[in-house]
Amino acid sequence: MKKLEAFIIEDDKDHIAVLQMYLSTHCKDILEVTATASTIKDATDLLKENRPDLMFLDVDIQGESSFQILEKLPFLSEVEIIITSSHREYALEAFKHLVTDYVLKPLQLEPLLVAIQKVQKNIALKALANEKNESAEPAEPLKRLAIPSVETVEIIAVDEVMYLESEGRYTTFYLKDNTTQTASKNLGEYEKLLSNNSFLRIHHSFLVNMDFALNIHKKDGFYLRMTTQKYLPISKRKINTLYRYLNLK
């Protein structure tokens, strides 16, 4: 079984050493720590270019709140996150970000192992759900989508959707009548559902209906201009995918 890739975001060297000791002693067959970062900026830069399976995240990093990382990088909703903190009072906000678990410092082995077991269970469930989704993928393009929210389930025509934007573990639909709908599912799920439609993931935050795309702007980065004159960013990792879709490569 493939080891999980883990990052540690922490500014306390002693805590990093204790955590790595526990992991190397008790979890060496389960996961591997492949990167660490000790500032909000370094962590943000690291995560923009790499996506781990698991992240150990301290809340207070050099006087800054690490929750801002979760807000800036919506795709982290698909990453398992274990908060490690000396402060109980951050727990409520942490679970609002739907973290996997919250482990108090000084670290104790048993709570840490329980948190890692939760991570393993979540990842196994995701893999099972992906297998079911793949086997259930529609042979023909979808015509309608159900958008679940807290109080309702809206039903919309797929060809009314211009693009989708990730909002953490939620997804916002932008429709051609200039209205929006917010769904309580992440963007990755809709990417699978719409794989047989004219939708393309151009960025970790955006899934675009290419029927509403006008052109690609290449000055100061790559942007896709929509029929609404909205410019959506294209990530470096996705530009070749877009070119292949357009038969440019």
CATH code, domain carrying 100: 3.40.50.2300
Residue 61: strand pairing partners: 64
Residue 168: the pLDDT is: 75
**Cβ–Cβ contacts within 10 Å for residue 234, how many?**
22
Question: Do residues 81 and 51 make contact, with C-beta atoms less than 8 angstroms apart?
Answer: no
Are 148 and 49 part of one and the same domain?
no
Residue 248: the pLDDT is: 79
Question: Do residues 21 and 51 make contact, with C-beta atoms less than 8 angstroms apart?
Answer: no
Are 47 and 130 part of one and the same domain?
yes
Instruction: Judge if pTM exceeds 0.85.
Output: no
At 234, the pLDDT band (50, 70, 90 cuts) reads very high
CA dist 184 and 172 (Å) reads 9
Question: Do residues 236 and 223 make contact, with C-beta atoms less than 8 angstroms apart?
Answer: no
Residue 115: the pLDDT is: 96
Average pLDDT over residues 113-125: 92
In the structure encoding, which two tokens stand for residue 188, read together? 């990755």
- pLDDT for residue 134 is more than 60: no
CA dist 40 and 246 (Å) reads 37
Are 124 and 151 part of one and the same domain?
no
Average pLDDT over residues 140-167: 88
Residue 195: which domain range? 144-245
Query: Considering only CA atoms, which of 189, 182, 215 is closest in space to residue 75?
Result: 189
The CATH number of residue 151's host domain is 2.40.50.1020
Specify the length of the chain in residues.
Answer: 249
Query: What mean pLDDT value characterizes the chain?
Result: 89
| Counted domains in the chain | 2
CA dist 94 and 144 (Å) reads 35
Are 13 and 121 part of one and the same domain?
yes
Are 76 and 124 part of one and the same domain?
yes
Are 12 and 127 part of one and the same domain?
yes
Residue 135: the pLDDT is: 57
Are 117 and 217 part of one and the same domain?
no
Comparing 70-79, 185-194, 230-239, which segment has the lowest mean pLDDT?
70-79
Query: Considering only CA atoms, which of 68, 76, 20 is closest in space to residue 47?
Result: 76
Are 161 and 235 part of one and the same domain?
yes
For the packed helices 13-26 and 109-135, what is the interaxial angle rounded to 10 degrees? 70
- pLDDT for residue 202 is more than 90: yes
Are 13 and 126 part of one and the same domain?
yes
Are 54 and 123 part of one and the same domain?
yes
Picking from 118, 135, 152, the residue at the C-terminal end of a domain is 135
Three-state DSSP at 80 gives strand
